[in-house]
Amino acid sequence: MSNNKSIRVTNFLAAVWLTILAVMTGCGPSAVGTDSSSNMDRIYTVRQSDLVVGTLLRGSANAKEKHKLSAEAAFRNILTWIQEENTQVKKGDVVIKFETQSLIDDIEARKLKIESQEKLLEIEIEEKRILLSENQSALRSATDAVTSAEENYSRYYRYDGKKSKEGIEQALESSKKALKQIQEESQSMADEITNTIYDDEKAKNKAMERLDTLKENVKKKEQECRDAEYQLRIFKKYTYPNALTDKVNKLEQTKLDYEKVKIRTASQVIQKDNAIQRLENELAKAREELTRMESYMPMMEVKAPVDGIFVYGDVDERYNRITIELGMECGRKRVLATIPEMDNLVVDFELPEQFHHRVKKGAKVIITPDSMPTLKLSGHVSEIAVVPVNQIHWDRSSPKIYNSVITLDTQSDKFVSGMNVEVNVIEDVLENVVNIPVEAVFEEDGEYFVYLKTDGSIKKKIVELGKSTDQYVHITQGLKAGDEVCLYSPYES
């Protein structure tokens, strides 16, 4: 059973609680076989019913869509005005303003620079001379060589090398299976000889010969396993690395040859062409910069994209929350305010690594807000992160968790962003199964058992366990409905 520890802990807590009750009522535990009322109350009749298996976790309500407002211009913006926090805003309202005079001065300076560069380019174009270029076929050949070397390396790294390794590993696995089978046959024959009294000496000798043959086969199979393991070590340590190194070296050589060809062709370009190209690039860059700076002018005012409540800062930022104040410098994409959509909420929760195998995407969930325990909302697990992260992001020793999301089946006006909630993930519903309280299950030497009451006496009964909740466990074999089991250990005083 996967939750052996939880069963033992529950048994211990149940025993402690029952002991406290016994002390409070003045009744101690009775010996086995007695009919005291205290022990009679601790007898449970096995039932067969539906069993809901779930996992309890913690989470918080969050807006699925949050509109985060920030400075979009790629320079240090100065905040000159911002809407008051926690106020209702309408779509299209101006909520943030930045200083614009320095941007206007920069635009005018760039226009003057472009005019000067255009005049210099006209002079250079008149003196331009066209020269022949290097043979393009040599450059194409060098490019094809690099491509071919890359393909060879990629094919061996992704497919051929792995295929060879898998073949060796499969051979090793086959040898191990054959060894295990012949060992079992040899052991079975040895046991048969040991447990058989032979009347016929010939039959005994024949059995001994068979055993000797099996032992020889065991030795052969053991040698085959050692040979296969040796081949795998050789492949990992020498064959694969050497082949991969050879292909990498060939790839690097083709790249070097390509660079030589490119340098040789580029060397024939004269200084005047370089000067013209440089001016053209500078002019294109200057025009692009002017266009970009002009595009920033509308960004100096930020408008509300939707109706909602205007909140300062990034509501998703746990650490390093900034203080919003006039005159502050704001870098690009620094979130200054958030407008969450309250009519489309989800629940964020951290799935502990030890529960990852129990909670699947699409699982049904019941959400209960801490502040409203009578409100029950249904939903399902819609997202589970692929890669776990540390619960405390800066502490690598902290537990691993999967950041996950629950989508609600229906929204509620009473359910708002920021609420802390209890999350009950329904893993499975076992229909019409035999189940008993977890405190009735005991464990000894790796086996699970119950104390079964039959005909006025109590005896141990080995059982097999299925899934369990915090209170009940599914009995797959060993009990039936109507059986009576003890909720305590009758052999303990």
Residue bearing the bigger pLDDT, 456 or 361: 361
Spell out the alpha helix ranges (H) of 127-266.
136-155, 161-195, 201-234, 240-266
pTM score of the predicted model: 0.43
Residue 481 near residue 432, CB atoms below 8 Å: no
Cβ atoms of 301 and 77 within 8 Å: the answer is: no
Residue 15 has what pLDDT? 38
Q: Is the pLDDT of residue 444 over 60?
A: yes
What would the two tokens of residue 159 be?
């497919």
129 DSSP assignment: -
Asked whether the beta carbons of 193 and 208 are under 8 A apart, the reply is: yes
Q: Report the residue count for the chain.
A: 493
Amino acid of residue 375: L
Q: Tell me the two tokens of residue 421.
A: 């909630």
Report pLDDT for 129: 62
Q: Give the helix/strand (H/E) hosting 293.
A: helix 271-295
Residue 110 has pLDDT above 90, yes or no: yes
Rg (CA), the chain: 39
Residues 214, 183: Cα–Cα separation, whole Å: 8
The pLDDT value given to residue 191: 83
Residue 364 β-bridge partners: 380, 426
Taking 90 as the threshold, does the pLDDT of residue 367 lie above it? yes
- Residue found by looking up tokens 């004269």 in the block: 270
Mean pLDDT of 16-40: 37
- Please give the structure tokens belonging to residue 483: 């059986």
Structure tokens at 79: 């905040």
* Range with lowest mean pLDDT among 22-31, 446-455, 458-467: 22-31
Tell me if 18 sits within 8 A of 31, measured CB to CB. Answer: no
- Please determine, for residue 474, whether its predicted confidence score (pLDDT) is greater than 70: yes
Pairwise pLDDT comparison (134 vs 367), residue with the higher score: 367
Q: CA-CA distances (angstroms) from residue 249 to 67, 246, 254, 258?
A: 51, 5, 9, 14
At residue 134, the pLDDT reads 59
Of the ranges 108-112, 213-217, 468-472, the best mean pLDDT one: 108-112
Mean per-residue pLDDT, 232-236: 86
Better pLDDT: 46 or 316? 46
What was the pLDDT predicted at 229? 87
Average pLDDT over residues 173-188: 86
Distance of CA 131 to the CA centre of its chain: 58
pLDDT over 60 at 445, yes or no: yes
Q: Which amino acid is at 28?
A: G
Output the pLDDT for position 136. Answer: 74
Output the DSSP codes for 416-441: -TT-EEEEEEEEEEEEEEEEEEGGG-
Q: CA dist 263 to 257, 272, 425, 460, Å? A: 10, 18, 64, 87
What are the tens digits of pLDDT across the range 262-277?
887 777 666 778 888 8
Angle subtended by helix axes 161-195 and 240-266, to nearest 10: 180
CA distance 160 to 137: 32
Q: Average pLDDT, stretch 333-361?
A: 89
Task: State mean pLDDT over 89-100.
Answer: 93
Q: Average of pLDDT values for 174-189?
A: 86
Q: How confident is the model at residue 131 (pLDDT cuts 50, 70, 90)?
A: low
pLDDT in tens, 40-80: 568 999 999 988 788 889 999 988 888 999 999 888 889 99
8-state DSSP, 65: S
Q: What is the pLDDT of residue 130?
A: 60
The CATH superfamily of 1-65+343-493 is: Efflux pump adaptor protein, beta barrel domain (2.40.30.170)
CATH no. of 67-99+301-340: 2.40.50.100
Average pLDDT over residues 340-356: 90
Looking at per-residue pLDDT, the higher value among 441 and 334 belongs to 441
Q: What's the confidence (pLDDT) of residue 10?
A: 38
The string of DSSP letters for 321-386 reads PPPP-TT-EE-TT-EEEEEE-TTSEEEEEEEEGGGTTT--TT-EEEEEETT-TT--EEEEEEEE-S
Residue 23: the pLDDT is 32
- Range scoring the smallest mean pLDDT among 182-191, 198-207, 369-378, 395-404: 198-207
Distances (CA, A) of 364 to 18, 359, 381: 35, 10, 7
| Summary mean pLDDT of the chain | 84
One-letter amino acid of 318: R
> What average pLDDT score do residues 425-449 get?
91
The arithmetic mean of pLDDT across residues 322-330, rounded, is 88
Q: Determine the average pLDDT of the residues in 232-242.
A: 87
Q: Which pLDDT score is estimated for 26?
A: 33
Long-range contacts of residues 360-365, Cβ cutoff 8 Å, at least 24 apart:
360/384, 360/427, 363/425, 363/426, 363/427, 364/425, 364/426, 365/406, 365/423, 365/424, 365/425, 365/426
pLDDT given at position 40: 55
Backbone phi, then psi, for 91, in 5-degree steps? -60, 130
State percent of the chain over pLDDT 70.
88
- Cβ(329)–Cβ(77) below 8 Å: yes
pLDDT at 368: 93
Q: Which residue has the higher pLDDT, 50 or 34?
A: 50
Inform me whether the pLDDT recorded for 8 exceeds 70: no
pLDDT band at 206 (very low <50, low <70, confident <90, very high): confident
E-strand ranges in 262-327 read: 301-303, 308-312
From the DSSP assignment, how many helices (H) and strands (E) are in the chain?
A: 8, 22
